[in-house]
A and B are shown apart, each in its own frame.
Chain A
Amino acid sequence: MAFEIPRVKYTGRIKDVTIGIGPAAVKIGGESCYPFYLFEGEMPNIPKVAFEVWDCEPEDWQEWAIEPFIDVIKNPVAWARKCIDVYGAKLIALQLKSADPNGMNKDTEEVVEVVKDVSNNINVPLIVWGTSNDEKDIELLRRVAEVCEGKNIALGPVSEKNYKQIGAMAIGYNHVVMASSPIDVNLAKQLNILLGNLGVPDERIIIDPTTGGLGYGIEYTYSVMERDRMAALTQEDVKLQYPVICNIANEVWKARETRLTKDEDPKLGDERKRSVLMEAIASMTLLIAGADVLIMRHPDSIALIDEMIATLTT
């Protein structure tokens, strides 16, 4: 008798979620196997990278992170356009940094204007990432939902504390929500149940498992994502059968190891290459754990990841 390779028995499937409208709309999820286990099942929608754009000029970015966007860094619309036109972005993730109450704390309406501008001037789907401050995000994302009506954007992060208000707006204005929970399978599931009870349709929920940076706890995220997928695909846990998004750029680029130059610590080697590789390795790790969308910063690391995805899926 011929040897038969043991196969994982899958009983579940990740739901399809579409962000954006028209021909540029991006579909994610749909997997019926573990990440890249194409010999056992399907990944009809290959994982995507969203280019990160800030709503204000970043104050503390490394010179080598700014470099690719040096000409557009003060203008979120131009920045987003450059990502699309020059680097081929299929998804834009707008980070509403200026609204953070612990930072610039800009007025909601001022921030909303930027969102409106960006969303009106790009033809790819938009992800809008709030401040992660539960209170501020309620008013901020509520307005964002309104001004982006009809664009089917992804809205988040939505937490256990503000899911009702933001979830209700997402239902009202037909957007997708990113359900954010602190690195725990059960908490992720609880929030999905709450959103479901509120009336958010299944095809409008993405899980944000909360991402730790490379060397700063990414292994926790990894194992939680891995378990999310095991529960979703092999244990019929329907409340975990959603695509996963990881907001990784932030985490990687704030680490000390992406900031120190070669002069400051010769052992660490060239800072540009090092930072790009750190972002790429972190992203690769998350892809293997089950990420469907990665929010990334540097065009070079994004190119590496695109290459990896292409290699693993063809």
Chain B
Amino acid sequence: MVESDMRRHKITFLPMDRVCFTDGDENLLEVAMKYGVHINSSCGGNASCGKCRVKIVEGAVYSKDNTNISEDEYKAGMRLACKTSARSDIVVEIPLESQIDRTALRRKRYVPQILSVADIGSLVKGVEVEPVVSKIYIELPEPSMQDNISDADRLLREIRRRYRIDDISVDFKIIKGLAKALRDAGWRITVTIAFTKTGYKIIDIEPGNKEDKNYSIVIDIGTTTICGQLLDLADCSLPGQDDSPENRLDTCTIAETSDYNAQISYGDDVISRIMYSQKKGGLKRLGEAVKGTISKVIKELLEIGKVDMNHVSHVVFTGNTIMTHLFLGIDPKYIMLSPYTPVFSIIPSLYVEQVGIDVNEHAYVYIYPCVSSYVGGDIVAGVMGSGISKSGKTVLYVDVGTNGEMALGNSDWLMCASCSAGPAFEGGGIKFGMRAGKGAIEQVKINPLTFEPMVLTIGRLKPIGICGSGLIDIIAEFMIAGLIDRNGKFSRDLKTERLREGDGDYEYVLCYAKDTQINRDIVVTEADIDNLIRTKAAVFAGCITLVESAGLTLDDVEMLIIAGGFGHYIDIEKAQTIGLLPELPAERFVFVGNGSLLGARLMSMSKSCFLEAERIAKMMTNIELSDNNRFMEEYVAAMFLPHTNEKAFPGVIARLNEKGRG
């Protein structure tokens, strides 16, 4: 890419005369979506539907060939928006067939408040980078008659001398092979040192200098999704250390991947998993299922990162309490029964062989401590990863997962709660739902007059399904376009082919089969909308109940951190439109993506976080929601779009009224 091509260009869309600016190499469809300008499109930005035709009136563009544009049309300036990017300031006319309605032109200019996951830099400032497991290269003096102390003492002496570490010992596991390992390596070795609560421990010895081969794997065991990252500990830094763009989250992440938790076939939510674990052989099968998925994820990470399994020395797991129990093969029975007690909250560090997953046997395993039966290590990790426990501001942290989990507080106090929210935002219980992977519909606009959609997918591939951020957009757009009522039911009398009666349920066709990868129409059904409303209602009700239990109101929340696997972006205004997020000023929101992984990363990168995690777990006061009347009441109130309490959503109600459909 030539330097000048990357400049910010001004794009004027006609006939609405809307001025937009490009960022990097965005195509015209992406720019239009970013600024809320409607251009029809249904293949996700893949050039196959040919609907996003625009006319270049002025300026230079770069456009890939496309068979959907004839030669004459091409000469006349016709292009597909999804395959065209600006090379200078340009003026683009959106022809009638892909244009927005006239009434919308008069509407307040809307700049979406889209948060992407990169915005977390400032949250964890001041954390020192010092991996829990580190490697150091040492050359030992060979033994002689004058210096014939034991091999282990020789090793420790050298480390003490060079690094001034006193509380260090050699793990028994490596004592047996120590003599041979030192001599085979000619006394030039790399030792792997783990930081534990009882001091440093030498856990591995390798010949030669392997200092640059020190990796860790962090895994978030979600009820629905298991996510993992492979980190390069030899070359790691934390976001927010300075403001240079290179020093961001991604500097040491070599690979990232995820997969559905194989336990899903034994039940969608944690309760059904516990029930299954009580069946004969159930506990064992659930353990095997989750370990199977984890091994797959780890294998994939190592493949993507081209890293040798033997160079992974640290593995960090986070998960909710039930997932943690099942992963370790511990019977979770009493979590389900009143008064809901877990077997443990803090698990000491373990070796890989003790948990039975497929990595280098010396690797050290750390499992995040849990708080209560329904507030697990994932939220402790989230709280740590997002820096709440060190924050001077009052922060509300919300993890939108199958188990909705929230934490509230600052450096002085922390409270938490959790509720069953359902897997809708991860694609569960949604007819064409999917995780936020390639081909997932992630951004949607719907023309309020023609009801034609504008669809963008992750990777700009033909759509396969819809991920959480896409669903938020869809429901919000349905509301604004008047396609659904405030109770989430379709307005069946609307005249549009896209709204039709499916299998005993009304549905809206987002993409016709020919524009998809799956050769079936991708639809959104009333049942899907119901599921999503239930999920968002649980999350919102949990938040407000937690905040009020602390004697605060939502206005007192100075920062709201959203975590969850629903996509790469979250459009704050649309999330407010459906009532998932409260109507607070946009600048108070931060989106961190998978917050639990964030905490797991810190745990691996910084010794201070290792101690901090337990402090957080012990410091959190849990508010039980399962028998909480206020929560139930808030839940019913939130089972409406955006909410039964209209006063809490004045902006949304005003926008709906603007369309005459308050």
By a beta-carbon cutoff of 8 Å, the part of chain A in contact with chain B is: 160, 184-187, 189-190, 193-194, 197, 239
Number of interface residues of B (CB under 8 A): 12
Residues 474-492 (chain B) with a chain A CB within 8 angstroms? 485-487
CB of B646 within 8 A of chain A?
Answer: yes
CB of B364 within 8 A of chain A?
Answer: no
Chain B nearest Cβ from A191, distance in angstroms: 9
Contact A194–B646 (Cβ < 8 Å): no
Contact B486–A239 (Cβ < 8 Å): no
Closest chain B residue, CB of each to CB of A187: B636
Contact B486–A197 (Cβ < 8 Å): yes
Interface centre among B485, B636, B644, B646 (most CB of A within 10 A): B644
Closest chain A residue, CB of each to CB of B634: A186
How many angstroms from the CA of A116 to the CA of B589 in the assembled complex? Answer: 60
Beta-carbon contacts of B625-639 to A below 8 Å, as 1s and 0s? 000000001001101
How many angstroms from the CA of A184 to the CA of B633 in the assembled complex? Answer: 9
Given A185-B633, A190-B486, A239-B646, 5 additional A-B pairs, CB 8 A: A184-B636, A186-B640, A190-B487, A193-B644, A193-B646
How many angstroms from the CA of A193 to the CA of B649 in the assembled complex? Answer: 14
CB of B661 within 8 A of chain A?
Answer: yes
15 of the cross-chain contacts (CB-CB < 8 Å) are A160-B487, A184-B636, A186-B639, A186-B640, A190-B486, A190-B487, A190-B640, A190-B644, A193-B486, A193-B640, A194-B485, A194-B487, A197-B485, A197-B661, A197-B662
CB-CB nearest 4 A-B residue pairs: A186-B637, A186-B636, A186-B644, A190-B640
How many angstroms from the CA of A189 to the CA of B487 in the assembled complex? Answer: 12
Contact of A194 among B486, B636, B637 (CB under 8 A): B486
For A184, list chain B residues within 8 Å (CB): 636
How many angstroms from the CA of A30 to the CA of B646 in the assembled complex? Answer: 23
How many angstroms from the CA of A189 to the CA of B639 in the assembled complex? Answer: 12
For A189, list chain B residues within 8 Å (CB): 644
For A194, list chain B residues within 8 Å (CB): 485-487
How many angstroms from the CA of A194 to the CA of B484 in the assembled complex? Answer: 11
For A190, list chain B residues within 8 Å (CB): 486-487, 639-640, 644
Closest chain A residue, CB of each to CB of B653: A193
Chain A nearest Cβ from B386, distance in angstroms: 32
Interface centre among A160, A187, A193, A239 (most CB of B within 10 A): A193
For A187, list chain B residues within 8 Å (CB): 636
Contact A186–B486 (Cβ < 8 Å): no
For B640, list chain A residues within 8 Å (CB): 186, 190, 193
Chain A nearest Cβ from B469, distance in angstroms: 27
Chain A nearest Cβ from B603, distance in angstroms: 41
For A197, list chain B residues within 8 Å (CB): 485-486, 661-662
How many angstroms from the CA of A193 to the CA of B642 in the assembled complex? Answer: 12
Chain B nearest Cβ from A282, distance in angstroms: 25
For B487, list chain A residues within 8 Å (CB): 160, 190, 194
Closest chain B residue, CB of each to CB of A239: B646
How many angstroms from the CA of A186 to the CA of B630 in the assembled complex? Answer: 13
For A193, list chain B residues within 8 Å (CB): 486, 640, 644, 646
For A185, list chain B residues within 8 Å (CB): 633
